[in-house]
Amino acid sequence: MAKILIVEDDVAFCQMLETFLKKKGFDVYISHTGNDAVAKINAQKFQIVLTDVRLPDKDGNEILEILKHNFPATKVILMTGYAEVDLAVNAMKMGAFDYISKPINPEKMLQVIHKALESEKEEPSKVEEKPKPAKEKKKTIKSYVSGVSDASKKLTDYIKLVAPTNMSVLIIGDSGTGKEYVAKNIHDQSKRANKPFIAVDCGAIPKEIASSEFFGHIKGSFTGAVNNKTGHFQAANGGTLFLDEIGNLNYELQVQLLRALQERKIKPVGSNQEIEVDIRVITATNEDLKKAVAEGEFREDLFHRLNEFSIQVPALRKRKDDLMLFADYFLEKANDELDKEIIGFSDEALALLNTYSWPGNLREMQNTIKRSVLLSTGKIIEVEALPMQMHNDVKEEESYSLFKNKNEQELILDALEQANGNKSKAARILNIDRKTLYNKLKQYDIKL
């Protein structure tokens, strides 16, 4: 049983980590100060020390230095806020095994811990065994990030509410907001999770072959039909059919789709036999379908059939609290795809990520970070690696980052005023963690 020491002065957070790791079978000890941690380290052997970067009496780098000199076999994993990336970089140079960004993802933390324990068992010929952990890492990257903002929590609640039912769901949201990921998440939490999930882009299907694409055809039914074809409805039988950009369907196909949903039967092109299908339909649009109905471009009866339950996916600009969660996820994904080991963003890059408006939403962020990972030659993504349009888009007055040319104390006071004295909200405005804000309040003798 591996022995882990958690060094964290946030008592509630520390207890949460302790409970999680004990459930995973680890022998866990806790310290709320650096001095207590050093005493425990000197008294017994730990395989892993999981320490916050900032502590009341010491910082994580001091503990790391003590361990490197006296107990080099102990693996040190740092917990750090996004505004403290520079400290994490220094710690990596000093010999820390890895760092985890806050807010902590427990499963990602567990992955890093297992990786640290595995490295302890490795033989000197590490180069030959390197591909193995890379494959394991690839399997652990999640396909969906739920987010922590109020908008994301509401979205998650709606998904959990409707997923176990068989209701048709209409997902509404701007382009790039992740509507297909929401649909897949609904499917994965439904009773149909082990059945097919078929995604169809309605805007990419030519009008001439749309019926064949949806319902299939039999050999010889029209010129070019050299074989029987299974349509999307039949392919999704038992599972979920996701129709993206449903507003692009022509009127004739809308009629056929409505009939198939009402009768739960389809007839392949050229066939006289009907095939029963058991599917759940989830649709998505970035258009105003109610307006399309009013203008006669979309059938009202089909709209109501598809809209038994609607979910609005918020734009990324309305999910500021989630920005760095998504950025970290896309960074991990890009590292995996490009075989790189970028560990974070510079202060200036972080400020730009947080102040940019992201008109292309999550799709734009994913592409931006992947491009930046490819361009970066060091361990950190610098602001120069981010696209020029991001630099042009940012308005100075919208940024409350501590990294701008403004007095730090004044920035903190402005954020506290905007947050009506709520320290947690002020920390989010400043793009720093709560503990860093408390340290700054103490430093400048700001009393509330």
| 3-140: CATH architecture | 3-Layer(aba) Sandwich (3.40)
| 319-398: CATH architecture | Orthogonal Bundle (1.10)
What DSSP string runs through 161-208? Answer: HHTTS---EEEE--TTS-HHHHHHHHHHTSTTTTS-EEEEEGGGS-GG
Per-residue pLDDT at 405: 39
CA proximity to 171, closest of 190, 157, 189, 186: 186
109-161: pLDDT as tens digits:
888 888 888 876 653 443 343 444 444 444 445 566 778 888 899 999 999 99
25-79: pLDDT as tens digits:
899 999 888 888 888 888 889 999 998 877 777 777 788 888 888 888 899 988 8
Q: How far apart are CA 9 and CA 384, in angstroms?
A: 36
In the chain, what is the straight-line distance between the N-terminal and C-terminal CA atoms, in Å? Answer: 46
Q: How far apart are CA 391 and CA 315, in angstroms?
A: 20
Domain ranges within the chain, ordered by starting residue: 3-140, 150-316, 319-398, 408-443
Residue that the structure tokens 């409505």 belong to: 258
Amino acid at 312: Q
**1 CB-contact burial (10 Å; exposed 0-12 / middle 13-18 / buried 19+):** exposed
Per-residue pLDDT at 81: 65
Q: How far apart are CA 362 and CA 97, in angstroms?
A: 30
- For β-strands 3-7 and 48-52, DSSP reports them as parallel
Decide: pTM greater than 0.75. Answer: no
Give the pair of three-digit tokens for residue 251: 């009127």
- For the cut 70, the answer to whether the pLDDT of residue 83 exceeds it is no
Residue that the structure tokens 């009768």 belong to: 263
**42 CB-contact burial (10 Å; exposed 0-12 / middle 13-18 / buried 19+):** exposed
Query: By the 8 A CB rule, do 210 and 394 touch?
Result: no
For 86-100, 130-144, 372-386, 388-402, which range has the lowest pLDDT when averaged over its residues? 130-144
| 150-316: CATH architecture | 3-Layer(aba) Sandwich (3.40)
Assign 88 a pLDDT band (cuts: 50, 70, 90). Answer: low
Contacts 24+ apart (CB under 8 A), 60-63: 60/7, 60/87, 60/91, 60/96, 61/87, 61/90, 61/91, 61/94, 62/34, 63/7, 63/34, 63/37, 63/38
Would 3-140 and 150-316 be classified into the same CATH topology?
yes
Query: Which residues sit opposite 31 in a β-bridge?
Result: 7
